[in-house]
Structure 1
Amino acid sequence: MNHRFRLLTWLLRPQPLLYLLLLGCLWGSCKHNPPEPPAPEVNISPLPALAARDAVLYEVFVPDFSAAGTFDGMLPRLDSLQKLGVNTLWLMPLHPTHGSPYAVDAYAAVNRELGDLAAFDRLVAAAHQRGLRVLLDWVANHTSYYHPWIQQHPDWYTRDASGQIVHPNPQWTDVADLNYSRPELRQAMTAAMKTWVTGHAIDGFRCDAADLVPDDYWQAAIAELRQANPNLFFLAEGSQTSHYAAGFQLTFGWNFYNALQRVVINQAPAAALAAAHSTELQNVPAGSYRLRFTTNHDEVQAGAPAARFGSEAAARAAYVATLAFGAAPLIYNGQEAGDPAQLNSPSRTPIRWSNDPTAGTFYRGLLAVYNAQPALRSGPAEYFDQAPGAVVVRHRLGAQEVLVLVNLRNSAVSVPLPAALQGAGWTNALTKTAVGSPAAVPLAAYGYAVWQR
């Protein structure tokens, strides 16, 4: 009798469970636990944090940005955006929608007309190679009526006394208001945002209708998202200063924009801009800013900047005024071509990039000076009320001094300089030529100057 047979005979007799387990192992019947599924690939942005004072934003409406109207269609123009002087791309909502781009059907998907997620990842990677950050426009306050949550989680929506889901605004009839008293909704929304941070390497969010979402939600969500990537950037489409305590670095400068229209269009005194600037920065923490603009996707519905301000020259002078006080500037989709997307056409209207080459020259030159002058970006703004229609603002930071002068009237003006601004050493930052020591500065209609010393 061989040893294996003797062992088998002995084991087949009644034995404790321990021996039966041993038998199974001897004959190869022990089963190992199945391997753990591979963890999802982590894809987090490699770019460092961006201070609000250094942010220069560009808003993109993907369908009109290129002839193709896709993520891949954006790739050939990334170099030109880098040369323009922007460092942050704000992509308008790219999810499947019904109605406006802000009527989102699904937070985890992209509109197939724009491309697939692989194409989106290619765009983000190409932007990062050029030092361009990518902000995703996030609509947390509401969804479309086609979103799965409508059927799966009807209690996540706000209802009226009759039990009907309500719109967040009577004019926003294509969207349903979300109810942030539901903890499950909060968790699901943050999880959806986190997927884009950890899986698609975005650099932050422009949060739509941020004033309508509770600040305590934003605070918790931003804190959790920054655990995944501490360098995320957050822009609130809102004006409440409480957003800064919630973790936003930037909010919209609507007061300044409205004052700008009053000054340029209605001939209000230029001092109204200084008052708006001061009001907007009240209770804003050091290092946080307001976004300044002369158009965006909402405002362009009523016309391009040239139409809103009366002429292309007036629109450019208004843009210089947005930078004069120190700001985080915004350029809207095609603004640098003099052909911003209207977003009110029933069909796509791709931007005509060769529409006005002088517009590109203007914005590139101005932003080059803005990016090269730390004093202009973060030095305190000193306003001098020298002429009713002219802005005169000085910034000083360390040994650097920058002076911005803008004529916001359609007639020439000579702006007297106070003693504090006179003297030698000034250079025209736009032309790199010496200025001399003038006691007054002549400015053409809608003329402007940026000096440094």
Structure 2
Amino acid sequence: MSEATLAAPWWKRGVIYQIYPRSFADSNGDGIGDLAGIAARLDHVASLGVDAIWLSPIFPSPMADFGYDVADYTGVEPMFGDLAAFDRLLAAVHARGLRLLLDFVPNHSSTEHPWFVESRSSRDNPKRDWYIWRDPAPGGGLPNNWISDMGGPAWELDPVTGQYYLHTFLKEQADLNWRNPAVAQAMTDVMRFWLDRGVDGFRIDVLWHIVKAEGLPDNPANPDWREGLAEKLRVLQHHSTDQPEAHAFTRQFRQLADSYGDTALVGEIFLPRDRLMRWYGTEAEPGVHLPFNFELIENPWDRDTLAALIAGYDAAIPDHGWPNWVIGSHDAARIAARIGERQARVAAMLLLTLRGTPTLYQGDEIGIGTVDIPPHRIRDPQDLRQPGMGLGRDRSRTPMAWDASSNAGFSTVEPWLPLHPDWRTRNVAAQEEDPASMLRLYRRLLAARRASPALSLGRMTLREAAPDILAYERQHGDERLLVVLNLGSEPREVTLPGATRPGRIIVATGTRDMFDGTIDADEAYVVELLA
């Protein structure tokens, strides 16, 4: 790694790898992944060439929403292990030169959390105001028209106290009241607990939700809603999300994280680009290091769309900010399922050569594609509550395939979700042996990125190109590289930037060793530019 690359903070030059613990590796034969399973497979993660691991929630939970309903913010769910197992995993991560980010869930807790149990016990309990309680509307009924992201009203009546509590997601996930200073202090103490334990930062769940508008007014109706769209889209979430007061808490999170040194905060924020940029804060009062950018997931996969969104996003980043990119997660359909395996290879090239920090999702490195979940195997509450809407997330949470042995080496018993249908040939062991595999492509890309200041930190310039061709230059000092991606099904000619000639191919999806100015369908190249 060059001196220029090493001088930058790791979260700028590095790559994050997301692990969904239930589905990575099962060490104890219950069909569910765990911390010891992750520890046993760390060499695979390290061999990819990534810099940090983000773990989806591992905290004690009734698992109504598979860990995003937290019952204890400073413990470990027994099905995953315990605090000693976490400490062993963290030590093993650090021993391999990697960092570990935890999933911090500040908007809501489980209704089984002791805080909520106290809160609902009576109207005058000291923790009543730790959550958002309201009387029924005059004449009875819901306090306002807010809709849960899981469908149905965002309010649940507690018959004992006669008030409703707010739940942005499932009724088992009660929203915390961040306007109560005691809540803000308690949750900041949670972050401090894990930072003291040695974690390197957090991915912050639904960060833009944490503060609600004073008075909880009705959200305006969405004039564009129609049958077939998710129920939550019936209203525009003007008053239930993205309130200006939330930024003060984000600045406090950043100050705490920065006080521990080389840490990082990644914010989950689904907002239009102009509002997303506010979550960077200012140079004097910064927000999260990386407000997640989901534009490669949310938009069509074609050259014109991608070129426009890349240019617009890069131009919108404030001077003190740093871009980031993602093509897959535990909430989105697999990239290979969305665009096919050939284009998924092109997508890997795009993700790992754009300016900014990439986040990889487990299983994308072996090209897991479409997984049909039989009705009797569906586990996702979002899918069960709104069937037939295509909202199911199980499809992206299926187990990792390690080899061709029973249950793909994931477990000694049937996994909690089905494996992808081609797991006997699409697994880590098989792709280790195939130089043309998706896994080997990811490793080449990550090695190239690590070795190249132009790819990891350099500036980016989009170039005019033939139809279906997305082309851009990355430059740092004297190093100039051209990235050429064919998003179409026909071969194309590529014109190099003026006064340059092609040098060696740094990495490619194909097998050619020299670049001759042509690119086949569904291919991509990173080419050295010489004067």
Same fold (TM over 0.5): yes
Q: 2:173 aligns with which of 159, 170, 175?
A: 175
Q: 1:318 aligns with which of 347, 356, 369?
A: 347
1:417, CA displacement in angstroms? 3.0
**Deviation digits for residues 354-399 of structure 1 (CA, Å, limit 9, x no counterpart):** 3241121111111111121111222221111212211110011111
Look up the equivalent residue of 1:244 and give its one-letter code.
Y
1:97, CA displacement in angstroms? 1.8
Is 1:272 matched up with 2:305?
yes
1: distance between equivalents of 2:103 and 2:315?
Answer: 27
Look up the equivalent residue of 1:242 and give its one-letter code.
R
1:48, CA displacement in angstroms? 11
1:290, CA displacement in angstroms? 3.1
2:21–2:34 Cα contact (<8 Å) kept: yes
1: distance between equivalents of 2:369 and 2:489?
Answer: 23
1: distance between equivalents of 2:174 and 2:309?
Answer: 34
1:327, CA displacement in angstroms? 2.4
Look up the equivalent residue of 1:107 and give its one-letter code.
Y
Q: Which runs of 5+ in 1 are unaligned?
A: 1-46, 264-269
Alignment match, 2:129: 155
1: distance between equivalents of 2:258 and 2:501?
Answer: 48
Is 1:208 matched up with 2:194?
no
1:280, CA displacement in angstroms? 2.2
Number of residues paired by the alignment? 387
Higher Cα Rg: structure 1 or 2?
1
1:427, CA displacement in angstroms? 1.1
Look up the equivalent residue of 2:255 and give its one-letter code.
A
Of stretches 363-372 and 427-436 in structure 1, the one that deviates more from structure 2 is 427-436
Alignment match, 2:401: 352
Inter-CA distance 216–176: structure 2 relative to 1 (3 Å threshold)? same
1:124–1:202 Cα contact (<8 Å) kept: yes
2: distance between equivalents of 1:350 and 1:385?
Answer: 41
Alignment match, 2:481: 402
1:325–1:381 Cα contact (<8 Å) kept: yes
Is 1:235 matched up with 2:311?
no
1: distance between equivalents of 2:25 and 2:369?
Answer: 12
Inter-CA distance 126–405: structure 2 relative to 1 (3 Å threshold)? same
Q: Indicate the SS of the match to 1:419.
A: coil
2: distance between equivalents of 1:225 and 1:53?
Answer: 16
Q: 1:140 aligns with which of 106, 111, 115?
A: 106
2: distance between equivalents of 1:230 and 1:74?
Answer: 26
Inter-CA distance 107–74: structure 2 relative to 1 (3 Å threshold)? same
2: distance between equivalents of 1:398 and 1:49?
Answer: 15
Is 1:253 matched up with 2:250?
no
2: distance between equivalents of 1:160 and 1:262?
Answer: 44
Q: Which runs of 5+ in 2 are unaligned?
A: 1-5, 28-32, 119-126, 137-162, 211-245, 380-393, 404-425, 432-436
**Deviation digits for residues 205-252 of structure 1 (CA, Å, limit 9, x no counterpart):** 00011112311112123313433x122111111152222224311121
2: distance between equivalents of 1:235 and 1:90?
Answer: 10
2:14–2:456 Cα contact (<8 Å) kept: no
Of stretches 342-351 and 137-146 in structure 1, the one that deviates more from structure 2 is 342-351
Inter-CA distance 341–88: structure 2 relative to 1 (3 Å threshold)? farther
2: distance between equivalents of 1:379 and 1:285?
Answer: 16
Inter-CA distance 337–55: structure 2 relative to 1 (3 Å threshold)? same
Q: 1:94 aligns with which of 49, 58, 64?
A: 58
- Identical positions, percent: 30
Aligned CA-pair RMSD: 2.6
Alignment match, 2:42: 78
2: distance between equivalents of 1:96 and 1:129?
Answer: 26
1:78, CA displacement in angstroms? 1.2
Inter-CA distance 181–48: structure 2 relative to 1 (3 Å threshold)? farther
Q: Indicate the SS of the match to 2:355.
A: coil
Alignment match, 1:308: 338
1:305, CA displacement in angstroms? 2.1
Inter-CA distance 389–222: structure 2 relative to 1 (3 Å threshold)? same
Inter-CA distance 282–383: structure 2 relative to 1 (3 Å threshold)? closer
**Deviation digits for residues 168-218 of structure 1 (CA, Å, limit 9, x no counterpart):** 25xx443111111100000000001110111x2100000011112311112
* Larger helix proportion of the pair: 1
Inter-CA distance 51–389: structure 2 relative to 1 (3 Å threshold)? same
Inter-CA distance 70–215: structure 2 relative to 1 (3 Å threshold)? same
Normalising by structure 2, what TM-score? 0.68
1:428, CA displacement in angstroms? 0.5
1:313, CA displacement in angstroms? 0.9
2: distance between equivalents of 1:49 and 1:146?
Answer: 43
4+ runs deviating over 6 angstroms: 340-344, 431-434
1:373-388 to 2 correspondences below 5 Å: 373-388=452-467
Q: 1:57 aligns with which of 16, 20, 25?
A: 16
Inter-CA distance 49–181: structure 2 relative to 1 (3 Å threshold)? farther
**Deviation digits for residues 231-283 of structure 1 (CA, Å, limit 9, x no counterpart):** 21111111522222243111211224333x341xxxxxx13223212322345
Q: Indicate the SS of the match to 2:89.
A: helix
**Deviation digits for residues 96-149 of structure 1 (CA, Å, limit 9, x no counterpart):** 223112111110111100011000000000000111100000100111211111
2: distance between equivalents of 1:79 and 1:324?
Answer: 24
Normalising by structure 1, what TM-score? 0.79
1:418, CA displacement in angstroms? 4.2
